[in-house]
Amino acid sequence: MANVMEDLNLAAGIDYLKSTKDLMLVELAEAIEKNGKIPDEEELVQLLVFLLTFSIGCQDLRIPDLADKFNDRAEQFITALSKWGMVPGKYKNYVKKRWDLVTYSRIRNKALAIATYKRAGSVNKY
């Protein structure tokens, strides 16, 4: 039975993150490399949510330079997903142990939805 990691290119994503020379992304790449596997889908969602939410928070605090840096990090992280072999319209099929249609889109859409919800704040405050 094929290993899920055979379908993904762990090294390509790690190399890409390191090539950004962004210290935060380089440290993330090193942590993933040390772990020896790509984070699962929910972990990837939460990493992207963090980057997007921090960018939005910096915009709210009127720190545009830092907001731009975190927005760039989020974009680079999304690019790393494709370097790992996740492309729009693919998802992980645990039964067949491969990436099938949907995951990249699901990670990106879910993270954007969570970050947007956090930006909007609680509906209970009105």
pLDDT by residue, tens only, the chain of 126 residues: 333 334 578 899 999 999 999 999 999 999 999 999 989 889 999 999 999 999 988 888 899 999 999 999 999 999 999 898 887 766 666 777 766 656 788 888 889 898 888 777 655 554
Please indicate, yes or no, if residue 15 is contained in any of the structural domains.
yes
Dihedral over Cα of 55, 38, 95, 42: its sign: negative
Please indicate, yes or no, if residue 125 is contained in any of the structural domains.
no
Q: Within the chain, how many helices (H) and strands (E) appear?
A: 6, 2
Rounded to an integer, what distance in angstroms lies between the CA atom of residue 87 and that of residue 102? 8
Asked whether the beta carbons of 49 and 111 are under 8 A apart, the reply is yes
Q: pTM to 2 decimals? A: 0.77
Please indicate, yes or no, if residue 126 is contained in any of the structural domains.
no
Please indicate, yes or no, if residue 103 is contained in any of the structural domains.
yes
Please indicate, yes or no, if residue 82 is contained in any of the structural domains.
yes
The pLDDT, as a whole number, for residue 34 is: 96
Structural domain count of the chain:
1
9: containing domain: 4-120
The pLDDT, as a whole number, for residue 115 is: 87
